Amino acid sequence: MKILALIGSPRKGSNTDILVDEILKGSKKVGHTSEKLYLYDYKIFPCIDCRACKKGKFVCPIKDGMKQIYPKMDDADLIIFGTPNYFYGPTGKMKLLIDRMRPFVANGKLKGKRWVLVTPAAEGPRVCRPLIQMLRLSFDYLGMKFIGKILVKAYEKGEIKENRRELDRAYKLGASF
Ligand SMILES: Cc1cc2nc3c(=O)[nH]c(=O)nc-3n(C[C@H](O)[C@H](O)[C@H](O)COP(=O)(O)O)c2cc1C
């Protein structure tokens, strides 16, 4: 199985990044391959509701980093969405990507793919409900299947490295794919 991990934290070596790496380690152990992308390395313009993706070949006409990301999403069997909680939602960069997932409404290419959420929050998992609901409604609409989440309490960059319990949980989630 091919896994695509999308990192929506602006910090490399972030809590999101570390947890996603643990998931990928677990998944590698059971034979899956993966690719990880840092969304902040890509230019992603906002969706402008031009509706071009609803016609013809169902593709987005905007020329930016999404041209590289779309085919990777098409190819993946499972997508990990890693985003810290920023004011009870995803980071701005992750939201830009989500809005640009609109071509998948018409082309149906994400149907049946599985997805996982990874979210650190300074206040902990209890404040992640609006974020989970937003992503679940959005990805259900695209026909994707939610298969798991890692929500943790963390604030400082990389502090999750000290939390063996959460790292184990992440590893086991990956090994369960
Ligand atoms: C702009 C901004 C908004 C944030 N909003 C929240 C919030 O509403 N609730 C919360 O629990 N943590 C909030 N945080 C803290 C981050 O979720 C937390 O530091 C997290 O561990 C960062 O993940 P990262 O290490 O993967 O970048 C916010 C951080 C930033 C920079």
**pLDDT 10s digits, 107-119:** 999 999 999 999 9
**Residue 53 corresponds to which amino acid?**
C
* Distance between Cα 124 and ligand 1 center (Å): 10
Instruction: Number of helices (H) and strands (E) in the chain: give both, helices first.
Output: 6, 5
Identify the pLDDT of residue 112. 98
Name every protein residue with a CB atom under 6 angstroms from any ligand 1 atom: 9, 11, 14-16, 84-88, 120-123, 127, 154-155, 157
Identify the pLDDT of residue 125. 98
Confidence class for position 47, pLDDT limits 50, 70, 90: very high
pTM above 0.85, yes or no: yes
Residue nearest to atom 17 of ligand 1 (CA): 121
Q: Which two tokens stand for residue 138?
A: 């959005």
Q: What CATH class does 2-175 carry?
A: alpha beta
Other beta carbons within 10 Å of 40: 17
Mean model confidence pLDDT for the chain: 98
3-state secondary structure of 117: strand
With left for phi above 0 and alpha for psi between -120 and 50, is residue 124 left, alpha or beta? left
Instruction: Indicate the domain borders of the chain.
Output: 2-175
Q: What pLDDT digit, counting tens, does each position of 136-161 carry?
A: 999 999 999 999 999 999 999 999 99
